[in-house]
Amino acid sequence: MRAAVCERPGPPEEVLRVREVPRPEVRDGWSLVRVKGFGLNRSELMTRQGHSPNVRFPRVLGIECVGVVAESTDPRLALGTTVAAVMGEMGREFDGGYAEYALLPNELLIPLTTDLPWEILAALPETYLTAYGALQALDVQGTGHSLLIRGGTSSVGMAMLSLAGKRGLETIASTRNPDKVDALRQAGATHVVLDDGDLATAVRKIRPEGPDYVLELVGANTTVDSLHLVAPGGTVCVAGMLSGVWVIPQFEPVAMIPSGTKLTSFHSDDLKGAAGAEALQEIVDGVAAGEYRPHLDRTFRLDEIAEAHRYMEDNRAAGKVVVLTS
């Protein structure tokens, strides 16, 4: 079978190689999935850059995939069943979705009923489950509230626009790139603001007290700013690290978190396997019904994996980047 192997940390053109490798053999508790497609994620770029110290190379990356069961050790997973898988150390402790076949733990596999094209289905699992979980973590109560999505043109940001729009939230989406403003408007943002270094001024022209909620996708380097931007008593949820910054230096909670403001987070590993099955089926059905948008930016082939990584690393996408295996 063909797989995209990351040979060592480094630039995508130098370290990602598509080559023939042995097809994995099924073992107890694991089933073989014929991968049809997978979405690209920032964490995979971070691993490829060498920022995941526990990952041993060479490694087939990929924290998510969609496909069909090719060999099963689980009675609930009949051959040919459409499945998705996310997280659970895919592409880190064991080989992930960047291949024609992936051997995955049964508990990670989420059976799905859908006729969506593979490129659309592949755009959904990690992105929408992260947005879904973050919306739960924000714990929005009542109606008439506003949500700032910081890092709006990311795939998670755009998925949140769909979910929040259905909930009736007023959405404010930020971007640093003027060329991506129209994409956010088309994705359903109520307001779009340019983050030119003074985001607070732009947001407070819309919401003078600040938004009721903030989805922080840029990372630790803007989290404190978001805590002071949200309305008094509001909530900030950190669910991304587009900046690649994980740590708030010299974090002083009493000094940095305004009184009454709440800081929370969401990690998509919380919705892996059975924990995310109901939500993902609901999302898939919603996309099929036109209630949610897939926010697919561009599709690549497996042979183009280095180009796909470069495209994402250069911040050219507005939405999800998907790779198809055939």
Q: Would you place residue 276 in the very low, low, confident or very high pLDDT band (cuts 50, 70, 90)?
A: very high
Encoding tokens for residue 278? 């109901």
Contact 217, 240 (CB under 8 A): yes
Mean of the pLDDT values across residues 160-186? Answer: 96
Contact 18, 305 (CB under 8 A): yes
Dihedral Cα 128, 130, 135, 138, nearest 10 deg: -170
Say if residue 58 is preceded by a cis peptide, omega within 30 of 0.
yes
Q: What is the pLDDT of residue 26?
A: 97
Task: Give the residue among 207, 222, 219 at the shortest CA–CA distance from 148.
Answer: 207
3 state SS of 33 = strand
Task: Give the residue among 213, 209, 239 at the shortest CA–CA distance from 226.
Answer: 213
The CA distance from 200 to 222, in Å, is 12
The CA distance from 95 to 301, in Å, is 19
The CA distance from 187 to 162, in Å, is 7
3 state SS of 83 = strand
Contact 193, 173 (CB under 8 A): yes
**Bridge partners for 320 per DSSP:** 296
DSSP conformation class of 212? S
Contact 137, 131 (CB under 8 A): no
**Bridge partners for 299 per DSSP:** 322
The CA distance from 300 to 84, in Å, is 19
Q: What is the pLDDT of residue 143?
A: 87
Query: What's the gap between Cα 306 and its chain centre?
Result: 19
Could you give all domains of the chain from N- to C-terminal order, each with its CATH number?
Answer: 2-123+294-324 (3.90.180.10), 128-268 (3.90.180.10)
pTM value is: 0.97
Mean of the pLDDT values across residues 60-75? Answer: 98
pLDDT digits (tens, 9 = 90+) for 18-28: 999 999 999 99
Which sign does the torsion angle of CA 286, 289, 295, 301 carry? positive
pLDDT digits (tens, 9 = 90+) for 109-158: 999 999 999 999 999 999 999 999 999 999 998 889 999 999 999 999 99
Q: Kindly give the pairing relationship between strand 30-39 and strand 101-105.
A: antiparallel
Mean of the pLDDT values across residues 44-66? Answer: 96
Query: Considering the chain, what percentage of its residues have pLDDT values greater than 70?
Result: 100
The CA distance from 38 to 67, in Å, is 9
**Bridge partners for 164 per DSSP:** none
Q: What is the pLDDT of residue 142?
A: 84
Q: Kindly give the pairing relationship between strand 16-20 and strand 110-111.
A: unpaired
Contact 261, 252 (CB under 8 A): no
Half-sphere exposure of 57 (CA within 13 A, CB side): 17
User: Is the pLDDT assigned to residue 254 strictly greater than 90?
Assistant: yes
Task: Give the residue among 108, 111, 102 at the shortest CA–CA distance from 77.
Answer: 111
Q: Would you place residue 10 in the very low, low, confident or very high pLDDT band (cuts 50, 70, 90)?
A: very high
Place of tokens 């009736």: 168
Contact 296, 319 (CB under 8 A): yes
Q: Quote the mean pLDDT of the chain.
A: 97
The CA distance from 316 to 280, in Å, is 27
